[in-house]
Amino acid sequence: MASATTAKAWRFTSTGQPSEILRLEEVPMPTLPPPPALLFSKKRNNKASSADREQEEWLIVRVAYTALNPGSQFHFNVIPAFARARTCTPELDFSGTVVDVWRPDQHDSASRGDQGPSRGFSKGDEVIGFMPITYTYPTGDGALTNYIRVPARYVIRKPESVTLKEGAGLMCASCSAVMLTDEAHVKRGDRVLIVGASGGIGTSAVQLAKSLVAESGGEGLVVAVCSGRNQELVLGLGADEVIDYTKHEDLAAELTRRFADKPFDAILDVHGNQAVYVQCANYLKAGADYVACSAQLESWTLGHFLRTFWLIQCNTYWPLSCWLGGTGRKFKLIAMMDPGRALMEKTASLAEAGTLKVCVDSVWEYENALQAYEILISGRARGKVLVKW
């Protein structure tokens, strides 16, 4: 059978909503070795030294599933065209099977008759990957395609007990959840509040927080904020109490009423609720940090993005003193720019151990990716929205 010469990819060139700008296109099948522009570009990953770039292994992966992330709205709407490739495939997370491998020294060692032990991946390996925006924005190579050419450092082996479907949903959201619990130093016996507990990151954060606070029989507490329709879901993931934010016009006042006399050791804000941060000295212990991974944008325009960016800077750097208008508690925003393999491996091993299960909202055939984006953009997904290839 002749091998395919084309692949499929959702791509965009202009700015706007996915339904306006994304097109499913036939594109040339990616091949190895990668073109010199990718191999030697300093722009595509400023973390890698030139020696690393010249030495690194590359893979072609036949994609099984791509996970959608809300951050793609930033790619579609905010990033100016000059700051990204002209034609872009969106998305970062994928799972699939390695169909080709290339190493820079492959040719030399073959001619020496010295193949040596494989240092990396082999054809047929099942993998999960997370391409950081530092790679996808300048190259235009994202994960919403059925064949990906990718540096091996963005890929790890899929644990056997994790399915390809779960694996695709594991990286960006669950790595973010791990970062949140790490940054907040969540530990045995802690009382933890999670705001925005029912989405991709929130569902992972609830499970992780519960496993940490309850370690070795610890009597910690996990309180989850979500809408009532997701109450059973988050209780099933380990939350001890649920607060339905739709029932409280002033959520911060409700938190003060319920928790002022027994404040939290950590607050993880996945949704980005500024009012909950401003009032948090009422229900977060002195010396504890308010750790967020998001801030609410009024709309996906550059102007609103800059305004939100300014708010985050004020939250982060304004003096804590209440006399100077501070909140009394330190604000930390985590940024999942490039998780690195250590965090990817740690997150995968939590899934392998059963500590983390990926909650899947829905799976869509690749032709229906625009409908999948409707769910994501609604802001009401319960866990991850996946596209199947």
Ligand X SMILES: NC(=O)c1ccc[n+]([C@@H]2O[C@H](COP(=O)([O-])OP(=O)(O)OC[C@H]3O[C@@H](n4cnc5c(N)ncnc54)[C@H](OP(=O)(O)O)[C@@H]3O)[C@@H](O)[C@H]2O)c1
Please give the residue ranges that form the binding site for ligand X (CB under 6 A): 69-71, 172-173, 176, 195-196, 198-202, 225-227, 230, 245, 270-271, 293-294, 334-336, 376, 379-382
Compute the chain's Rg from CA coordinates. Answer: 22
CB of 373 to ligand X, least distance (A): 11
Nearest to ligand X by Cβ — which residue? 199
**Closest distance to ligand X from the beta carbon of 251 (Å):** 8
- Minimum distance of ligand X from residue 18's CB (angstroms): 14
Q: Given the complex with ligand X, which of 192 and 226 has the nearer CB atom?
A: 226
For the chain, give the secondary structure using H, E and C. Answer: CCCCCEEEEEEECCCCCHHHHCEEEEEECCCCCCCHHHHHCCCCCCCCCHHHHHHCCEEEEEEEEEEECCCHHHHHHCCCHHHCCCCECCCCEEEEEEEEEECCCHHHHHHCCCCCCCCCCCCCCEEEEECCHHHHHHHCCCCCECEEEEEHHHEEECCCCCCHHHHHHHHHHHHHHHHHHHHCCCCCCCEEEEECCCEHHHHHHHHHHHHHHCHHHCCCEEEEEECHHHHHHHHHCCCCEEEEHHHCCCHHHHHHHHHCCCCECEEEECCCCHHHHHCHHHCECCCCEEEECCCCCCCCCHHHHHHHHHHHHHHHHCCCCHHHCCCCCEEEECCCCCCHHHHHHHHHHHHHCCCCCCCEEEEEEHHHHHHHHHHHHHCCCCEEEEEEC
Q: Which is nearer to ligand X, 38 or 143 (CB)?
A: 143
CB of 202 to ligand X, least distance (A): 5
If the CB atoms of residues 61 and 172 are measured against ligand X, the closer one turns out to be 172
Question: In whole angstroms, what is the distance from residue 307 CA to residue 295 CA?
Answer: 11
In whole angstroms, give the CA distance from residue 358 to residue 347. Answer: 11
CB of 329 to ligand X, least distance (A): 19
Q: Closest approach of Cβ 14 to ligand X, in Å?
A: 21
φ and ψ at 340, to 5 degrees?
75, 160
At closest approach, how far in Å is the CB of 65 from ligand X? 16
Q: Which is nearer to ligand X, 88 or 376 (CB)?
A: 376
Q: In terms of CB distance, is 64 or 343 closer to ligand X?
A: 343
Nearer to ligand X, 207 or 294 (CB): 294
- Smallest separation, CB 312 to ligand X (Å): 10
Min dist CB 289 to ligand X, Å, is 15
Rounded to whole angstroms, the Cα distance separating 346 from 320 reads 33
How far is the C-alpha of 125 from the C-alpha of 122, rounded, in Å?
6
Smallest distance, ligand X to C-beta of residue 360, A: 11
**With respect to ligand X, which residue has the nearer C-beta, 95 or 146?**
95
Interatomic CA distance for residues 308 and 313, integer angstroms: 9
- Which of residues 83 and 335 has its CB atom nearest to ligand X in the complex? 335
User: Which of 63, 234 has the CB closer to ligand X?
Assistant: 234
If you count them, how many residues does the chain have? 389
User: In terms of CB distance, is 9 or 177 closer to ligand X?
Assistant: 177
